[in-house]
Amino acid sequence: MTTEAEVAIRPETSRFDPDDQPWHDQVAALHAALREEAGPIVHRGVPRPGHKGAVEATVLVLGSSGGLTAAVACFRAWLARDKTRTLTVTWTDAAGGERSIRVVGDNIDQTSFQALTEGLGSRLGDG
Protein backbone atom coordinates (compact mmCIF):
# COMPACT_ATOMS: atom_id res chain seq x y z
CA MET A 1 0.00 0.00 0.00
CA THR A 2 1.34 3.41 -0.97
CA THR A 3 1.36 6.16 1.62
CA GLU A 4 1.02 9.81 0.74
CA ALA A 5 3.65 12.25 1.89
CA GLU A 6 3.37 16.00 2.11
CA VAL A 7 6.27 18.25 1.24
CA ALA A 8 6.14 21.97 2.04
CA ILE A 9 7.97 24.11 -0.50
CA ARG A 10 9.13 27.69 -0.12
CA PRO A 11 10.62 29.29 -3.24
CA GLU A 12 12.68 32.47 -2.80
CA THR A 13 14.86 34.76 -4.89
CA SER A 14 17.41 37.49 -4.37
CA ARG A 15 16.52 39.02 -7.74
CA PHE A 16 12.88 40.05 -7.23
CA ASP A 17 10.84 41.54 -4.42
CA PRO A 18 8.44 38.86 -3.09
CA ASP A 19 5.48 41.02 -4.20
CA ASP A 20 6.68 41.58 -7.80
CA GLN A 21 4.45 40.12 -10.49
CA PRO A 22 7.36 38.51 -12.40
CA TRP A 23 8.23 36.57 -9.23
CA HIS A 24 4.61 35.49 -8.75
CA ASP A 25 4.62 34.28 -12.36
CA GLN A 26 7.79 32.24 -11.79
CA VAL A 27 6.37 30.63 -8.65
CA ALA A 28 3.10 29.90 -10.47
CA ALA A 29 5.11 28.17 -13.22
CA LEU A 30 6.81 25.97 -10.59
CA HIS A 31 3.44 25.08 -9.07
CA ALA A 32 1.96 24.27 -12.50
CA ALA A 33 4.90 22.00 -13.36
CA LEU A 34 4.62 20.21 -10.03
CA ARG A 35 0.84 19.72 -10.44
CA GLU A 36 1.33 18.30 -13.92
CA GLU A 37 4.29 16.05 -13.15
CA ALA A 38 4.29 15.17 -9.45
CA GLY A 39 0.98 15.63 -7.65
CA PRO A 40 -1.52 18.11 -6.26
CA ILE A 41 -0.49 21.40 -4.66
CA VAL A 42 -2.49 22.76 -1.74
CA HIS A 43 -2.17 26.00 0.19
CA ARG A 44 -2.63 25.82 3.94
CA GLY A 45 -2.40 28.20 6.82
CA VAL A 46 0.13 26.92 9.33
CA PRO A 47 0.96 28.40 12.74
CA ARG A 48 4.08 30.50 12.91
CA PRO A 49 5.95 30.17 16.22
CA GLY A 50 5.84 33.36 18.26
CA HIS A 51 3.17 35.03 16.09
CA LYS A 52 -0.58 35.25 16.11
CA GLY A 53 -2.34 33.78 13.14
CA ALA A 54 -0.95 31.60 10.42
CA VAL A 55 1.33 31.92 7.45
CA GLU A 56 0.36 30.31 4.15
CA ALA A 57 2.35 27.22 3.25
CA THR A 58 2.48 25.61 -0.17
CA VAL A 59 2.29 21.84 0.16
CA LEU A 60 2.94 19.24 -2.54
CA VAL A 61 1.12 15.96 -1.93
CA LEU A 62 3.16 13.01 -3.20
CA GLY A 63 1.47 9.67 -3.71
CA SER A 64 4.27 7.55 -5.14
CA SER A 65 8.01 7.29 -5.51
CA GLY A 66 7.49 8.26 -9.15
CA GLY A 67 5.88 11.50 -7.95
CA LEU A 68 8.90 12.15 -5.74
CA THR A 69 11.26 11.59 -8.68
CA ALA A 70 9.17 13.94 -10.84
CA ALA A 71 9.12 16.58 -8.10
CA VAL A 72 12.91 16.52 -7.76
CA ALA A 73 13.22 16.88 -11.55
CA CYS A 74 10.85 19.89 -11.45
CA PHE A 75 12.79 21.42 -8.55
CA ARG A 76 16.11 21.03 -10.39
CA ALA A 77 14.78 22.45 -13.66
CA TRP A 78 13.13 25.43 -11.96
CA LEU A 79 16.23 26.28 -9.92
CA ALA A 80 18.53 25.95 -12.94
CA ARG A 81 16.63 28.63 -14.88
CA ASP A 82 17.76 31.44 -12.55
CA LYS A 83 20.80 31.18 -10.30
CA THR A 84 19.26 33.66 -7.81
CA ARG A 85 16.48 31.22 -6.89
CA THR A 86 16.43 29.11 -3.75
CA LEU A 87 14.03 26.42 -2.66
CA THR A 88 13.42 25.24 0.88
CA VAL A 89 11.73 21.84 1.08
CA THR A 90 10.37 20.56 4.41
CA TRP A 91 8.86 17.15 5.22
CA THR A 92 8.19 14.84 8.14
CA ASP A 93 10.45 11.80 8.33
CA ALA A 94 9.39 8.27 9.26
CA ALA A 95 10.11 8.95 12.95
CA GLY A 96 7.84 12.02 12.94
CA GLY A 97 10.64 14.58 12.97
CA GLU A 98 10.67 17.61 10.71
CA ARG A 99 13.45 17.62 8.10
CA SER A 100 14.36 20.43 5.76
CA ILE A 101 16.78 21.20 2.95
CA ARG A 102 17.58 24.47 1.21
CA VAL A 103 18.91 24.32 -2.33
CA VAL A 104 20.39 27.35 -4.10
CA GLY A 105 20.08 27.74 -7.88
CA ASP A 106 23.78 28.43 -8.35
CA ASN A 107 24.86 25.34 -6.43
CA ILE A 108 22.79 22.36 -7.56
CA ASP A 109 24.68 19.07 -7.52
CA GLN A 110 23.86 15.37 -7.48
CA THR A 111 23.43 15.29 -3.70
CA SER A 112 21.30 18.45 -3.39
CA PHE A 113 18.05 16.52 -2.97
CA GLN A 114 19.53 13.30 -1.57
CA ALA A 115 18.15 13.82 1.96
CA LEU A 116 14.66 14.33 0.53
CA THR A 117 14.75 11.27 -1.72
CA GLU A 118 16.20 9.08 1.02
CA GLY A 119 13.81 10.44 3.63
CA LEU A 120 10.65 9.91 1.59
CA GLY A 121 11.63 7.20 -0.88
CA SER A 122 10.90 4.27 1.41
CA ARG A 123 7.63 5.81 2.63
CA LEU A 124 6.42 6.15 -0.94
CA GLY A 125 7.57 2.71 -2.12
CA ASP A 126 5.18 1.37 -4.71
CA GLY A 127 4.44 -2.11 -3.81
Q: How many domains does the chain have?
A: 1
pTM for this prediction: 0.84
User: Cβ distance 34 to 60 under 8 Å?
Assistant: yes
Give residue 68's pLDDT: 92
Mean pLDDT of the chain: 86
Give residue 127's pLDDT: 46
Give residue 61's pLDDT: 93
Q: Over the stretch 9-36, which tens digit does the pLDDT of each residue have?
A: 999 999 999 899 999 999 999 999 999 9
Which domain does 51 fall in, by range?
5-121
Cα–Cα dist 112/75, whole Å:
10
Cα–Cα dist 64/61, whole Å:
10
Q: Is residue 76 part of a domain?
A: yes
Length of the chain equals 127
Considering all CA atoms of the chain, what is the largest pairwise distance in Å, rounded to the nearest integer? 44
Give residue 22's pLDDT: 94
Q: Is residue 106 part of a domain?
A: yes
Which residue ranges in the chain fall short of pLDDT 70?
1-2, 46-55, 125-127
What is the b/e burial string over 87-98, where b = at least 16 CB atoms within 10 angstroms of the residue's CB? bebbbbeeeeee
Q: Is residue 127 part of a domain?
A: no
User: Which distant-in-sequence residues (6+ apart) come within 8 Å of 83 by Cβ?
Assistant: 105, 106
Q: Is residue 126 part of a domain?
A: no
Give residue 54's pLDDT: 59
Name beta bridge partners: 9: 58, 89
Give residue 1's pLDDT: 41
